[in-house]
Structure 1
Amino acid sequence: MPEHQSDPIHSSNQDATPWMVQLSLVLLMLGAGLVLLPLVIVIITSFSAIGVTPGRPATGWTLQNYQEAWSKGRFLVAFANSALVAIAVTGFQILTSALAGYALARLQFRGRKAILLIVLATLVIPFQMLVIPIFLVLKWGHLINTYAALILPTAVNGFSIFLMTQYFQTIPVELEEAAAIDGANRLQILWQIMLPLARPALVTLFLFTFIGEWNDLFKPLVFTTRPELRTVQLALAEFQEQFTNSWSLMMAAVVISTIPVVLLFLLGQRQFIRGIATTGIKN
């Protein structure tokens, strides 16, 4: 066979590759369209005149829906409560997950793998199964109807510990050894070397935790009854009960409650993707 004779099989694969790429692109665009379609309907309905049902052409565009939804839903206090709870829980989880994750990733002690297995086992236990003992503990501590009831039950999370453990294992040990030779202790190594290098994982953890707490309805519904402790999701649920027949107002309220987490994700999406991509399974 001559040296420059082309391989028919290889040539056919090269010819088919652009078609496969185009087909994949079309399928991805269709999938994105299906995912974004409900969001588009929600946004269009929120700007429509009152009385328009979702899916029908808008007869007029107005911002009055957002003004009425904000005032009638009393979202200002709810936003403040949700922000306070989400930031507090996120801070606690970052602190506890960084310390526990570093210990499980780097320190060699008896029972380390057993502790990691216990942490992983907590991921398969739904929070709803623990609500009764958690409620009794909070009641015993006189914490019902307080901010502590919304913060403490999720201040530590098994997934967060596992995420930080896996990311710390991807960082070369030689960096810590060099710092130890220079006289740095464990806490200095963690604070000055490991945490800056783990910024993608920390951003990922921050987004996961903050968005999860912002969208949480279960804890405020079970552990609080005081109106001044209402969170965004509880206020949104009460708003929907009051304005069941006003689709425009309800969609405007949904958009209002969603804007903070959407903006937060857009700001940290690059670090989020990097943190997910570089966090693998390590032994």
Structure 2
Amino acid sequence: MPKTSQKNHKLPLGTLLIVVLLLTGAVMVLLPLVIVFLTSLAPATATGGTVLPKTITWENYQEAWQRGKFLLAFANSTLVALLVTGCQIITSALAGYALARLKFRGRQALLLIVLATLVIPFQILVVPIFLVLKWGNLVNTYGALILPTAANGFGIFLLRQYFLTVPVELEEAAALDGANRLQILSRVMLPLSRPALVTLFLFTFIAEWNDLFKPLVFTTKPELRTVQLALAEFQEQFTNNWSLLMAAVVIATVPVVVVFLIGQRQFVQGIAATGIKN
């Protein structure tokens, strides 16, 4: 009787190395988060450099929420992040569609200018932006937190790249049915570009939620405090109370983690679909 060949289930060396590197990277990223969470559960008197607390308490979160006055900060951050994200989606969709489909003189030069804005740090522009906001009486208002980032070169480039992946025949069919450019954009292009829109939403919302620079420079009123500004003030007050401080960090981090987990599938599709296209 001939011997039956046994399948070799061993992973190739290259694949094994990739798995090991990915696991190592995952541990390096997740380990600090685990330490922060465990520290937030330790009693205030038990944080003497220990990672694993002997006793667990959830009172740190309640105390941090009350002392940090995070309710108003959460409302401000949510409002600013959603409005900035909405503005960026609108401006990026209009500009991205124009750069992807409309034929006009200087289109490539305009695209290069948009890309050039990606390498200019926001901090360099803070003085002229502040002067413009002061001229418009927008300092210490929600406008100072929203308008400076209402448009973004990254969002324009991202949607422009995704629009290039949509077949032109779909637009031509809609045009034959009598649709104009705005109707084609709103009824054809945007529904087909959901992964890119979710990607832009996640990038913008997380960036605005974690932004400390704008509220620190453009506002001084306590009623305009955002989460990151409240967290910075909280850190100054409770520098030595690590359990309370880590609880405040977890409170400030949970919303962006939840938002990312909800949209992660569309996020991966959007990143995979937006390649470099001329």
Q: What is the TM-score when the length of structure 2 is the normalising length?
A: 0.95
CA distance in 2, matches of 1:281, 1:62: 50
Deviations 1:61-109 (A, max 9, x none): 0010000000000000000000000000000000000000000100001
How many residues matched? 270
The question of whether the paired residues in 1 share the 8 Å contact of 2:35 and 2:51 is answered with: no
Q: What is the TM-score when the length of structure 1 is the normalising length?
A: 0.93
Partner residue of 1:263 out of 233, 251, 258: 258
CA distance in 2, matches of 1:30, 1:100: 41
CA distance in 2, matches of 1:19, 1:105: 43
Partner residue of 2:17 out of 23, 38, 55: 23
CA distance in 2, matches of 1:132, 1:19: 54
CA distance in 1, matches of 2:17, 2:162: 35
Look up the equivalent residue of 2:163 and give its one-letter code.
F
The correspondence of residues 140-219 of structure 1 with structure 2, limited to 5 A, is 140-219=135-214
The question of whether the paired residues in 2 share the 8 Å contact of 1:45 and 1:53 is answered with: no
**1:227 Cα offset (Å):** 0.3
Distance 1:248 1:171, change over 3 A: same
The question of whether the paired residues in 2 share the 8 Å contact of 1:236 and 1:254 is answered with: yes
CA distance in 1, matches of 2:81, 2:62: 25
Alignment partner of 1:277 is 2:277: no
Q: Which moved more, 1:158-167 or 1:16-25?
A: 16-25
Counterpart in the other structure of 1:9: none
Calculate the aligned-residue CA RMSD, in Å: 1.3
The correspondence of residues 72-111 of structure 1 with structure 2, limited to 5 A, is 72-111=67-106
The question of whether the paired residues in 2 share the 8 Å contact of 1:41 and 1:54 is answered with: no
Look up the equivalent residue of 2:204 and give its one-letter code.
T
Alignment partner of 1:134 is 2:134: no
The question of whether the paired residues in 1 share the 8 Å contact of 2:43 and 2:57 is answered with: yes
The residue matched to 1:281 in structure 2 has which SS? coil
Counterpart in the other structure of 2:41: 47
The correspondence of residues 56-67 of structure 1 with structure 2, limited to 5 A, is 56-67=51-62
Counterpart in the other structure of 1:8: none
Among the aligned pairs, what percent are the same residue? 73
**1:181 Cα offset (Å):** 1.1
**1:21 Cα offset (Å):** 2.1
**1:17 Cα offset (Å):** 5.3
Look up the equivalent residue of 1:229 and give its one-letter code.
L
The residue matched to 2:44 in structure 1 has which SS? coil
The question of whether the paired residues in 1 share the 8 Å contact of 2:40 and 2:243 is answered with: yes
**1:53 Cα offset (Å):** 3.8
Alignment partner of 1:232 is 2:227: yes
CA distance in 1, matches of 2:255, 2:123: 26
CA distance in 2, matches of 1:141, 1:15: 68
**1:23 Cα offset (Å):** 3.1
CA distance in 2, matches of 1:92, 1:214: 15
Counterpart in the other structure of 2:108: 113
Distance 1:142 1:271, change over 3 A: same
CA distance in 1, matches of 2:78, 2:196: 21
Structure 2 residues not aligned, in runs of 5+? 1-7
